[in-house]
Structure 1
Amino acid sequence: MALGETAGAEYLPSNYRFEIEKTIRQIKRRGSKKIALQFPEGIIHLSTVISDIIRCSTEVESVTILSDVVYGACCIDDISSHLIGCDLLVHYGHSCLFEVPKCLVGVVYVFVEVSIDYAHCVDVALKHIDCSNLSVLGTIQYSSVVRGVRKGIEEARTKLLGSAEGEGVPPTEVKIPRVMPLSVGEVLGCTSPKVQTENVLFIAEGRFHLESVMIQNPTRKYYRYCPATKTLKTEQHDYARFLSIRKERQAASRAAKSYTVIFGTLGRQGGMLILQRVLASLVERGAPHTTVYLSEIDNETIASIDKDSAVIEIACPRIAIDWGSTFTLPIITPFEYFTMIQGIEEYPMDYYKKEGRAQPWQMLR
């Protein structure tokens, strides 16, 4: 163990940045005694190691590992942490979405950035992608990799432009788009930036977050680099089919005789301001409706609702987008509800967007 390294940290992956020392400093500074830890599925196997490190390095009375599923940053569970008597929640693997001052307990976010040797990504991108017209994006774990890849591509092409082989090669400015309040280059499954370039290089191990960008920007060319397998793949999304399905669900909801509004209680997935706006709109329309509070939306629950009803889900919009056609009733997002009259022309992924014109379906407005 290196001098100054926290005892036990050697049992954690060396390329994962768990910010152990920062966490310990925060616990000591706040005088926290009862700690809750929250992990996404991909790293929860390391939770007991981190719990032991905290116990051995501080004077806390207890460390509780929350076991409810964590799909994303929206699942931050300060409410459960408060109810079980904790005074500090450490949330791993996601960026800060819900405003910390509004949380019921103190919150520390640890992004868990993953460091990799991104030279291979730069090499394959230069070989297979038109990098003169390129944006680079990724999940929050790879934010430093996104910046490094951009720098590597720009440096390589600048060197090429100064050589004999660079004659006629267009100049390069690799872009890293941003939508507030997310970090530069960060993408969520429900929120992604507008892209102005023809090509997009996305750094992630799966497609879920990339699909958000593809829906937001349906005319771009997409490439996904997987750091785990060191592979570069072209990715496609059938936007026309997707839009057709969502329009059909929206039309079926418009014809419904009543509405069931489901407010998601998993973490902070549900937006109270959105709920208020949806209910006010239903009252104004004179539409019969019922409000239900649920932590999970499943087929059994949907099947128990009156068959002449439609469901408006104020939770993760990807439930309706990805799985909506599998339910027995039409299930729509707040965006699809508020555009029910005029219909959908294009599909924004701006659920957490906090810039530009405010929209009634946005979480932070």
Structure 2
Amino acid sequence: MPMSFCHYYDFEIETIVKFIREIKAKKILLQLPEGLQICASEIIQLLRNTFGDLEVILSQNPSFGSCLVDEYGAIESGADAIIHIGHIEYKYYKPKMPTLFIRGAYRGIDKDKITMLLSQVCKEQQNKVTICIGTTAQHMVEIDSFVKELRNCRIVYKGIILGCMPINPSNCDNTIIIAGGKFHCVTQALYNLSLGKHISTLCIDPYTNDLWNPEKDAEKILHVRLWKVREAFEARKWLIINGFYGQHRPYLINALIERLRSLGKEYVVTKALRITRDLLDNIGAESFDVIVITACPHVAFELDDYIKPVITAGEAMMALRRDLSRYIYPW
């Protein structure tokens, strides 16, 4: 009998149980990304089998990464701790209340197919280049072990890739991102393009075992982004949207404000947890010349067809300097 969807992921129930016992929690807030929300009831039931009187609150606030741990939801609900599943801790943000990060390792990864694809790339490159590997939290331990077993292949495991934090491709000829979907892989390709060096990018999807090249997608995005930056050159009135938790970046806000003031520009700073098209409409964003997102840079990409240019913090600095010579990603 095939496994259910949730059984393909390791939620480390024993680790969660140990954590709850150690801090003597009576109520916890459980936070999962959208793709794993379907598994929440199963996780809650497993915990209740051990702790009959444990109260579990399921968060429905954004969980796009470990930069968005739902501290407010936990405090408002009176939780003693947060169980955050799907990511590892973000290096630039530490929650103020007890938080356990569970990466949600994917059990269905096919080691033989992944190593075959990596070997194929090595063979095509005649083993003369250094290939750097990045992956997501769900696959980090498994991929690291696969890479160590490869022979006659110059592969370096660079660790975790985030949407706002690509792997560092220094000393790399090629980068390979092992992750589901396009998001992380296109992020790396865009970052490599922004460096102005010829560092190629390939992607392996561990759910479909497909090997593909994201560079055309990245080049298309780059053309759009540069046009948005050019549109912002003459902007007089700026709306800056700051995020919460790990997406609260005061150093970016302060740098932008300093530059805007020096140029005599008008600006308004606002703060939002979930940045959507409706939010922009509701705050009258159409009355501004440009909108700057200092939270997740991919929000700006998703709003590339908005009535006014929506740009990232790095792109804003390009516009304020009137400089298109080098694309800045993410900031």
TM-score, L = length of structure 2: 0.85
Q: TM-score, normalised by structure 1?
A: 0.78
Query: How far off its partner does 1:57 sit?
Result: 1.6
* TM-superposed deviation, 1:107: 0.6
Once the 2 structures are TM-superposed, how far is the Cα of residue 12 of structure 1 from its aligned partner?
A: 8.3
Partner of 1:311: 291
The answer to whether the aligner puts 1:193 opposite 2:190 as a matched pair is no
1:215 alignment counterpart? 190
**AA partner of residue 334 (structure 1):** A
**Relative to structure 1, is the Cα distance of residues 176 and 79 closer, same or farther in structure 2, using a 3 angstrom cutoff?**
same
Cα 1:113–1:308 shift into 2, 3 Å: closer
- 2:95 corresponds, among 100, 103, 120, to 103
**Equivalent of residue 291 in structure 1, options 250, 262, 269:** 269
For residues 285-333 of structure 1, the C-alpha deviation after alignment (integer angstroms, 9 at most, x for no partner) is 332211222233333443432445211112111111x234301111121
CA distance in structure 1 between the aligned counterparts of 2:262 and 2:53, rounded to whole angstroms:
52
CA RMSD of aligned residues (A): 2.6
Contact 1:79 1:104 (8 Å CA) reproduced = no
Q: 1:17 aligns with which of 5, 10, 23?
A: 10
Aligned to 1:7: none
| Offset of residue 151 of structure 1 | 2.2
- Is contact 1:302–1:327 with CA below 8 Å preserved after alignment? no
Equivalent residue runs for 1:258-337 within 5 Å: 258-265=237-244, 268-303=246-281, 304-320=284-300, 322-337=301-316
Q: Which moved more, 1:61-70 or 1:42-51?
A: 61-70
Shift of 1:229: 2.0
The answer to whether the Cα contact below 8 Å between 1:76 and 1:91 also exists between their aligned partners in 2 is: yes
Work out whether residues 259 and 312 of structure 1, in 8 Å CA contact, stay in contact via their aligned partners in 2: yes
CA offset digits 1:54-74 (Å, max 9, x no partner): 223236541101122322222
Partner of 2:208: 229
* CA gap 1:151/1:247 in 2 versus in 1, 3 angstroms: same
Distance 1:308 1:225 in 2: 41
Of 37-46 and 72-81, deviating more is 72-81
Q: Which residue of 2 aligns with 1:4?
A: none
Deviations 1:90-132 (A, max 9, x none): 10001111667x5242111011122433112212332354362
Determine helix, strand or coil for the equivalent of 2:110: coil
Matched ranges for 1:1-365 at <5 A: 13=6, 15-58=8-51, 61-97=54-90, 102-115=94-107, 116-129=109-122, 130=124, 132=127, 133=129, 134-154=131-151, 157=152, 172-177=153-158, 185-195=159-169, 196-218=171-193, 219-265=198-244, 268-303=246-281, 304-320=284-300, 322-339=301-318, 340-349=320-329, 351=330, 361=331
**What letter corresponds to residue 142 of structure 2 in structure 1?**
V
Q: How many residues matched?
A: 316
**Partner letter of residue 294 of structure 1?**
A
Matched residues in 2 for 1:117 and 1:245: separation? 36
> How many angstroms does 1:341 deviate by?
0.5
Identity value in percent = 21
Where does the alignment leave 5 or more consecutive residues of structure 1 unmatched?
A: 1-9, 158-171, 178-184, 352-360
2:157 counterpart letter in structure 1: I
Tell whether the 8 Å contact from 1:33 to 1:59 is kept in structure 2 after alignment: no
Gaps of 5+ in 2: none
Q: Which has the larger radius of gyration?
A: 1
Contact between 2:239 and 2:288, CA under 8 Å: does it hold in 1? Answer: no
